[in-house]
Amino acid sequence: MIPSFIVENSPALMVIVPLVAAFITPFIGRISSGIRSLWVGGAMAVTSAITLILAFDVYSAGTRLYVFGARAASAAIPPDSGGIPIRIIFEVDPMSALMLVITAVSGFAIVLYSLSSERSHTGLESYYTLYLLMITGILGMVSTGDIFNFFVFLEILSLASAGLIAYRIDGGVAVEAALKYFVLSTIGALAILVAIGIYYGEYNALNMAMIAARMQFSLLDQVALVLIIAALAMKCGAVPMHFWTPDAYSMAPSSITALLVVASQASLYGLFRTVFSLYNVTLNAVTVGWLIIILGVLSMVVGVTMAIPQKNVKRLMAYHAVSQTGYMLLGVGVGLAVLGNQSLLDAFGYMAMEGGIFHIINHAMYKGLLFLTAGAIFLRIGTYNLNRMGGLGHSMKWTMVFFVIGALAIAGIPPFNGFASKLMIYESVFVFNPLLAVIAMVVSILTLASFVKVFHSIFMGPKLPEFADVKEAPMPMLLGMGILALVVVLFGLFPGIVVESLITPAAHALVDQGAYISAVLGGA
Amino acid sequence: MRKILTTIIFVVLATGLCAIPAFLAFGEPAASEMDQYFIGHGQSEAAANNIVTSIVFDYRGFDTLGESVVLFTAVVGVGLMFRSMKGGKEQ
Amino acid sequence: MIPFLLTFILALLLYLLLAAGSGSVLLWSPSELVAGVALSLLAAAVARNLLCRSDSYRMANPLRLLLIPLYLLGPFLLEVTKANLDVAYRVITGNIRPGIIRVQSGLRTDLGIFMLANSITLTPGTITVDIDEKSHDLYVHNINIPQGWEERPQVEERELFSLANLPAWIRRIAE
Amino acid sequence: MIDLVIHALVIAGLVASALMVFHFRDLLAAALAAGFFSFLISLEFYILQAPDVAISQAAIGAGLTTAIFIIAIRATTRYEGGQP
Amino acid sequence: MIDPWYIAVCILVILVCLSLIRLFLGPTAADRAVAIDTVNTLSVAVLILLGVAYQQIIFIDVAIVYALLSFVSTLYIAKYLGGEL
Amino acid sequence: MPWWTRARISARSSEVHETMDLTSTLLTGAGSWNPLPWVLGMVVAAIIAWLIYSMGEKGYKAGTAQAEPFISGNPEPEKGMVHVRAGNLYWGYLEALKGYYDRLVPLHTGDLHDYVLWYLGITALFLVLVVISA
Amino acid sequence: MIADVLILACLAVGIFFNALGIAGLLRFPDVYTRMHATTKMTTFGSMFTALSVIIYGVALFLSSGDGQYVTLSVHTLIAAISLAFTNAVGSHAIARGAHKAGIKPAPAIVDRLEEFTP
Amino acid sequence: MRMSKIVRTGANLLYPFILIFGLYVIMHGHLTPGGGFQGGAVVATAAALVIVAYSYDEVTGMLKKTAMKARESIGLLLFIGAGIAALAVGAPFFYNFLANSGLLFGMSVPAGPNPGDLNTAGVIPIMNIAVGIEVWGGLAVILLYMLSGIRKEES
Amino acid sequence: MFWNLPLIAVVVLTIIALAIIVFKKNLIKVFLGIVILESAVNLFLISLGYREGGIAPIYTNAPSTAMVLPTPQALTLTSIVIGVATSALLLSFAIIIWKKYGTIDIDRIRRLKE
Is the CB of I89 inside 8 Å of chain H's CB atoms? no
CA atoms of F116 and F109, how far apart (whole Å): 12
**Which chain G residues are Cβ-neighbours of E37 within 8 angstroms?**
38-39, 87, 90-91, 94
Q: Do E69 and D63 touch (CB under 8 A)?
A: yes
Residue A463 phi/psi, 5-degree rounding, is: -65, 125
* Neighbours, chain A (3 or more CB pairs < 8 A): B, F, H, I
**Which chain C residues are Cβ-neighbours of H4 within 8 angstroms?**
130-131, 133
Domain ranges across chain D: 2-75
| pLDDT over threshold 50, residue E20 | yes
Phi-psi region of C136 (alpha: psi -120 to 50; beta: other; left: phi over 0): left
Q: Specify if C153 maps to a domain.
A: yes
Task: Name the residue among H7, H17, H115 with its Cβ closest to that of G89.
Answer: H7
Q: Are H69 and B75 in contact (CB under 8 A)?
A: yes
Residue I59 phi/psi, 5-degree rounding, is: -85, 70
CA atoms of A357 and A359, how far apart (whole Å): 5
Task: Name the residue among I21, I107, I109 with its Cβ closest to that of F116.
Answer: I21
- Among A42-46, C53-57, I66-70, which range has the highest average pLDDT? A42-46
CA atoms of B82 and H142, how far apart (whole Å): 10
Confidence bin at F47 (pLDDT 50/70/90) = very high
CA atoms of A413 and C109, how far apart (whole Å): 84
Using CB atoms within 10 A of its CB, is residue A486 exposed (0-12), middle (13-18) or buried (19+)? middle
Q: Do F120 and I22 touch (CB under 8 A)?
A: yes
Q: Shortest CA distance to F27 belongs to which of A523, E81, A423, A154?
A: A423
**Which chain I residues are Cβ-neighbours of A163 within 8 angstroms?**
89
Domain count, chain C: 2
**Which chain A residues are Cβ-neighbours of B61 within 8 angstroms?**
68-69, 88
CA atoms of A134 and A260, how far apart (whole Å): 9
Domain count, chain E: 1
Phi-psi region of C101 (alpha: psi -120 to 50; beta: other; left: phi over 0): beta
Q: Shortest CA distance to A492 belongs to which of A359, A351, A403, A328?
A: A359
What pLDDT, on the 0 to 100 scale, is given for residue F78? 64
How many other C-beta atoms lie within 10 A of the C-beta of residue H125?
27
* Whether residue C19 is found in the same domain as residue C72: no
Q: Specify if I76 maps to a domain.
A: yes
Contacts of A243 (CB under 8 A, 6+ apart): A180, F108, F110, F114, F115, F118
What pLDDT, on the 0 to 100 scale, is given for residue G23? 82
Q: Do H17 and C53 touch (CB under 8 A)?
A: no
Q: Shortest CA distance to C130 belongs to which of I25, D77, E78, A238?
A: E78
**Which chain H residues are Cβ-neighbours of G88 within 8 angstroms?**
10
Q: What is the CA radius of gyration of chain E?
A: 15
Q: What is the CA radius of gyration of chain C?
A: 20
Q: Shortest CA distance to I111 belongs to which of C171, A179, H1?
A: A179
Whole domain around residue I35: which residue ranges? 5-56+66-112
Which of I28, I35, I50, I61 best tests the E interface by mutation, with the highest count of E CBs <10 A? I61
Confidence bin at F26 (pLDDT 50/70/90) = low
Task: Name the residue among H1, H42, H48 with its Cβ closest to that of E84.
Answer: H1
CA atoms of F128 and F114, how far apart (whole Å): 21
Below-70 pLDDT ranges, chain A? 1, 72-76, 523-524
CATH number at residue I94: 1.10.287.3510
Q: Which residues pair with A191 in a beta bridge?
A: none
Q: Are E32 and E26 in contact (CB under 8 A)?
A: yes
Q: Do H118 and C111 touch (CB under 8 A)?
A: no
Whole domain around residue G9: which residue ranges? 2-116
Do chain I and chain D touch with ≥3 beta carbon pairs under 8 Å? yes
D29: amino acid identity, one letter = A
Do chain G and chain C touch with ≥3 beta carbon pairs under 8 Å? yes
Q: Shortest CA distance to C174 belongs to which of C105, C121, C108?
A: C108
Which of H52, H56, H153 best tests the E interface by mutation, with the highest count of E CBs <10 A? H52
Query: What angle in degrees, to the nearest 10, is found between the helix axes of I5-23 and D2-23?
Result: 0
In the predicted model, what is the mean pLDDT of residues G33-48? 81
Please report which helix (H) or strand (E) contains residue A64, including its range. Answer: strand A63-67
What pLDDT, on the 0 to 100 scale, is given for residue C57? 65
Q: Do B79 and A160 touch (CB under 8 A)?
A: no
Is the CB of A460 inside 8 Å of chain F's CB atoms? yes
In the predicted model, what is the mean pLDDT of residues I42-53? 84
Residue B3 phi/psi, 5-degree rounding, is: -65, -40
Name the closest residue on chain H to residue C3, using Cα atoms: H16
| pLDDT over threshold 60, residue F31 | no
- Among A148-157, A506-515, E53-62, G73-82, which range has the highest average pLDDT? A148-157
Q: Are I85 and B71 in contact (CB under 8 A)?
A: yes
Q: Do H10 and G67 touch (CB under 8 A)?
A: no
CA atoms of D78 and I104, how far apart (whole Å): 11
The residues in A 175-194 lying below 8 A from B, measured between CB atoms, are 175
Q: Do B65 and H33 touch (CB under 8 A)?
A: no
Q: Shortest CA distance to H38 belongs to which of H118, H152, H135?
A: H135
What pLDDT, on the 0 to 100 scale, is given for residue A246? 87
What pLDDT, on the 0 to 100 scale, is given for residue D84? 57
Min distance B20 CA to chain H CA atoms (Å)? 29
Q: Do F94 and A309 touch (CB under 8 A)?
A: yes
Q: Are G17 and C84 in contact (CB under 8 A)?
A: yes
Name the closest residue on chain D to residue B26, using Cα atoms: D48
CA atoms of C7 and C43, how far apart (whole Å): 8
| pLDDT over threshold 70, residue C56 | no
Q: Do E85 and H33 touch (CB under 8 A)?
A: no
Is the CB of F124 inside 8 Å of chain I's CB atoms? no
CA atoms of A503 and A95, how far apart (whole Å): 8
Name the closest residue on chain G to residue E16, using Cα atoms: G22
Tell me the per-residue pLDDT of D13-39, one tens digit each, with 9 for 90 and over. 888 888 888 888 888 888 888 888 888
How many other C-beta atoms lie within 10 A of the C-beta of residue A50?
26
CA atoms of I75 and I46, how far apart (whole Å): 9
Is the CB of A102 inside 8 Å of chain H's CB atoms? no
Q: Are B73 and A162 in contact (CB under 8 A)?
A: no
How many other C-beta atoms lie within 10 A of the C-beta of residue A331?
32
Do chain B and chain I touch with ≥3 beta carbon pairs under 8 Å? yes
| pLDDT over threshold 60, residue I2 | no
Do chain D and chain F touch with ≥3 beta carbon pairs under 8 Å? no
Q: Do F117 and I22 touch (CB under 8 A)?
A: yes
| pLDDT over threshold 80, residue F11 | no
Q: Do H45 and E61 touch (CB under 8 A)?
A: no
Task: Give the predicted TM-score (pTM) of the model.
Answer: 0.91
Average of per-residue pLDDT values in chain F: 70
More confident residue, G64 or A400: A400
What pLDDT, on the 0 to 100 scale, is given for residue F67? 62
Q: Do G79 and E44 touch (CB under 8 A)?
A: yes
Domain ranges across chain H: 5-154
Min distance F5 CA to chain H CA atoms (Å)? 12
Min distance A352 CA to chain I CA atoms (Å)? 32
Residue F33 phi/psi, 5-degree rounding, is: -145, 120
Tell me the per-residue pLDDT of F66-123, one tens digit each, with 9 for 90 and over. 666 666 666 666 665 666 666 677 778 888 888 888 888 888 887 888 888 888 888 8
* Neighbours, chain B (3 or more CB pairs < 8 A): A, D, F, H, I
Contacts of E54 (CB under 8 A, 6+ apart): D49, I55, I56
Pairing of strands A63-67, F6-7: antiparallel
Name the closest residue on chain D to residue B51, using Cα atoms: D52
Min distance B89 CA to chain I CA atoms (Å)? 16
Name the closest residue on chain H to residue A69, using Cα atoms: H95
Average of per-residue pLDDT values in chain H: 80
CATH number at residue E17: 1.10.287
Confidence bin at G5 (pLDDT 50/70/90) = confident
Confidence bin at G117 (pLDDT 50/70/90) = low
SS3 content of chain I, % helix, strand, coil (to 5): 65, 5, 30
Q: Do H134 and B68 touch (CB under 8 A)?
A: yes
Whole-number Cα distances in Å, B88 to A73, A124, A282, B25: 52, 11, 57, 60
What pLDDT, on the 0 to 100 scale, is given for residue G94? 84
Tell me the per-residue pLDDT of A210-238, one tens digit each, with 9 for 90 and over. 888 888 888 888 888 888 888 888 888 88
Q: Shortest CA distance to E17 belongs to which of D53, G26, G33, D2?
A: G26
CA A199 to chain centre: 26
Q: Do C47 and H11 touch (CB under 8 A)?
A: no
Task: Name the residue among G24, G68, G71 with its Cβ closest to that of C91.
Answer: G24
Min distance D70 CA to chain E CA atoms (Å)? 7
Which of H13, H14, H24 best tests the C interface by mutation, with the highest count of C CBs <10 A? H24
* Whether residue C120 is found in the same domain as residue C154: yes
Q: Are A406 and A369 in contact (CB under 8 A)?
A: yes
Whole domain around residue E44: which residue ranges? 4-82
| pLDDT over threshold 60, residue F8 | no
Residue C47 phi/psi, 5-degree rounding, is: -105, 5
| pLDDT over threshold 70, residue F6 | no
Tell me the per-residue pLDDT of H79-125, one tens digit each, with 9 for 90 and over. 888 888 888 777 777 777 777 666 777 676 776 667 667 777 778 88
CA atoms of B43 and C110, how far apart (whole Å): 50
| pLDDT over threshold 50, residue F19 | no
**Which chain I residues are Cβ-neighbours of H32 within 8 angstroms?**
58, 60
Q: Are I71 and D48 in contact (CB under 8 A)?
A: no
* Whether residue C39 is found in the same domain as residue C96: no
Q: Are H40 and H1 in contact (CB under 8 A)?
A: no
What pLDDT, on the 0 to 100 scale, is given for residue D71? 87
Min distance F103 CA to chain B CA atoms (Å)? 16
Whole-number Cα distances in Å, B67 to A351, H31, H48: 39, 22, 22
Is the CB of H93 inside 8 Å of chain A's CB atoms? yes
Q: What is the ipTM of this complex?
A: 0.91
Q: Specify if C139 maps to a domain.
A: yes
Tell me the per-residue pLDDT of G90-104, one tens digit each, with 9 for 90 and over. 888 888 888 888 777
Tell me the per-residue pLDDT of D34-58, one tens digit each, with 9 for 90 and over. 888 888 888 888 888 888 888 888 8
DSSP string for residues in B26-42: TB--S--HHHHHHHHHH
**Which chain D residues are Cβ-neighbours of E37 within 8 angstroms?**
none
DSSP state of H102: S
Q: Which residues pair with B27 in a beta bridge?
A: I51
In the predicted model, what is the mean pLDDT of residues G46-75? 81
SS3 content of chain G, % helix, strand, coil (to 5): 85, 0, 15
What pLDDT, on the 0 to 100 scale, is given for residue A524? 44
